[in-house]
Chain A
Amino acid sequence: MWLFNSSVGRKFVMSITGASLVLFLLFHASMNLVAIISPEGYEWICEMLGANWYALVGTAGLGFLVFVHIVYAFILSIQNYRARGTERYAVVERQDGVEWASKNMLALGLIIVLGLCMHLAHFWAKMQLVEILGEEPASGMELIRMTFSKWYWAALYMVWLGALWFHLTHGVWSALHSLGLNNNIWMPRIKCLSNIVATLVVLMFASVVVYYFCMGCCA
């Protein structure tokens, strides 16, 4: 199967799963913004999604995407490490125009996974998971207020979002490039698009953290 056996096929899988996850992030981030604009609206969204069949199908799909993206990341990293050979260069200099993020996607990805575990424990485990188990879910707004009023959680979420920003600045344009959607004219454009998408996603998420941290401080 070429999606597994060929290098371009493996990149294709990374791009498709990665790009789908970016779309999810945009969806998730715009949902979060509602928490600032209208707390009641946010509660309504939490209730509407809850453990309904479409939310469960979506969650399962997301889990699958994340799983494939991570498994492929490790397979690719191991293969690439081997391809470099047993002897490593004694002197390694950085090249002009090579992004730092592009060389550290796995490390950034690991930080994102750790952050994801923290996030799932904070929110998902107390909301959708308990609802699946047939109990009353916690209030989304209450969780947001509780979590982000603690400075250490707010700080950890910001670090997590920072790693996500670096991951996306390379990830978005790289996904398009791997799908073949690039040429000399579009290269600067999709790199710019990549920065815009990464910044937009991170700003939307971060605004909620900062807003409720400040609210916590004032209260």
Chain B
Amino acid sequence: MEKTINITLKVWRQAGPKAKGGFETYQLDNISTDSSFLEMLDVLNEKLVSERKEPVVFDHDCREGICGMCSLYINGHPHGPDSAITTCQLHMRKFKNGDTITVEPWRSNAFPVIKDLMVDRRAYDKIMQAGGFVSVNTGGVPDANAIPIPKKDADEAMDAASCIGCGACAAACKNGSAMLFVAAKVSQLALLPQGKVEAARRVKAMLGKMDELGFGNCTNTGACAAECPKSVSLSNIARLNREYICAKFKD
């Protein structure tokens, strides 16, 4: 038989980027523990609409943990209390009957709130545009096996590439630093021969953009890696530091 719980939600409501925000409290009864966190919010919004109130705005898209759109800070953790999952993969069975759940938007100077729980994460796109790519001339595509790549490097690059750019790292960091994101995006290319060619230019451009956008300085607390829904490793940050310092010394 399906189990249901009654919960109290404290949700951050903010009319717009410049408006003053505050918490609103909602009571939700008979929430199925099989529903996901976002489905629970859908139930809340349906209730709000039926009461002719404005629904809560939150980001979501694929709802299967790969797009990186959902972005809620739930009970003091980005993507909620469970580890290595996104908000959409969080289920209500993680909560108990009578729990009060506090839902906040990502808070970082570089991620301004658009409305309620939705934040502007274009800062990450700008960092990618600054250098998170490999320049290729159009023409014949070389065979994938023409360049031998050690399995270890390929695996590590793939692990770094699992970053979905959701922003949980910057949201979790007490310094509002985006280092884990930049480190993952630098690493996924720097580890591979195709990416090594432009590695120095890339790391300088991406890190410069990160600093320019108002993200903080990394102090190696490791909160980012602890909260990352894709478990991106902290050692990527060491690689970013190494790449950057070497690039600067070569200049």
Q: Which residues of A contact B208 (CB under 8 A)?
A: 6
Contacting pair A96 B226 (CB below 8 A): yes
Give the contacts of A110-136 with B (CB-CB under 8 A).
none
Q: State whether A2 and B241 are in contact (beta carbons under 8 Å apart), knowing that A83-B109, A87-B21, A92-B76 are contacts in the complex.
A: no
Question: Could you list 28 A-B pairs, sorted by A, with CB under 8 Å?
Answer: A6-B248, A7-B177, A7-B211, A7-B216, A7-B218, A80-B217, A83-B217, A84-B108, A84-B175, A84-B216, A85-B109, A89-B104, A89-B107, A90-B23, A91-B73, A91-B104, A93-B75, A95-B227, A96-B226, A97-B225, A98-B222, A98-B226, A102-B219, A178-B220, A180-B244, A182-B235, A183-B239, A186-B235
A99 / chain B contacts, CB cutoff of 8 Å:
221-222
Q: Tell me if B238 counts as interface (CB < 8 A to partner A).
A: yes
Q: Is the CB of B218 within 8 A of A11?
A: yes
Known: A7-B207, A89-B107, A180-B245. A83 touches B177 (CB 8 A): yes
Flag if A2 contacts B239 (CB, 8 Å): no
Question: Are A10 and B217 in contact (CB-based, < 8 A)?
Answer: yes
Which residue from A12, A86, A98, A178 sits with its C-beta under 8 Å from B221? A98
Report B-chain residues with C-beta under 8 Å of the C-beta of A69: none
Residues of chain A within 8 A (CB-CB) of B4 are: none
Q: Are B76 and A91 within 8 A (Cβ)?
A: yes
From B76, B219, B235, A93 is in contact (CB under 8 Å) with: B76
B174: interface (CB < 8 Å): yes
Known contacts A8-B244, A8-B245, A85-B109; A79 and B217 CB within 8 A of each other: yes
Interface string of B239-250 (1 = CB under 8 A from A): 111111110100
CB-defined contacts of B238 to chain A, threshold 8 Å: 177, 180-183
Bound complex: CA A178 to CA B237 (Å): 8
Would you give the shortest CB distance from B222 to chain A, in whole angstroms? 5
Asked if B181 is an interface residue, CB under 8 A from chain A, the answer is no
A83 touches B216 (CB 8 A): yes
Chain A contacts with B in 145-186, Cβ cutoff 8 A: 170, 173-174, 177-184, 186
* A89 engages B222 (CB within 8 Å): no
- Nearest-CB residue, chain A, relative to B73: A89
Interface string of A68-91 (1 = CB under 8 A from B): 000000001001101111111111
Q: Are A83 and B175 in contact (CB under 8 A)?
A: yes
Contact present for B240 and A91 (CB under 8 Å): no
Among the listed A76, A90, A95, A177, which residue makes an inter-chain contact with B217, where contact means beta carbons less than 8 Å apart? A76
Residues of B within 8 A of A82 (CB): 109, 214, 216
Let me know if B77 is at the binding interface, CB within 8 A.
yes
| Chain B window 94-107, contacts with chain A (Cβ cutoff 8 Å), 1 for yes, 0 for no | 00000000101001
**A5 contacts partner chain B, Cβ-Cβ < 8 Å:** yes
8 closest A-B pairs by CB: A180-B242, A93-B76, A83-B216, A83-B176, A80-B175, A182-B238, A95-B226, A91-B76
Do residues A177 and B21 form an inter-chain contact, with CB atoms below 8 A? no
Q: Give B197 Cβ to nearest chain A Cβ, in Å.
A: 20
CB distance from B85 to the nearest CB of A (A): 15
Q: Cβ of B77: which chain A residues have Cβ within 8 Å of it?
A: 93, 95
Task: Kindly list chain B residues whose C-beta atoms are within 8 Å of the C-beta of A11.
Answer: 217-219, 241
Known contacts A179-B245, A181-B242; 20 further A-B pairs (Cβ under 8 A): A6-B244, A6-B248, A7-B210, A7-B216, A8-B240, A8-B241, A11-B217, A11-B219, A12-B241, A80-B219, A83-B110, A83-B177, A89-B76, A91-B102, A97-B225, A97-B226, A177-B237, A179-B242, A180-B242, A183-B235
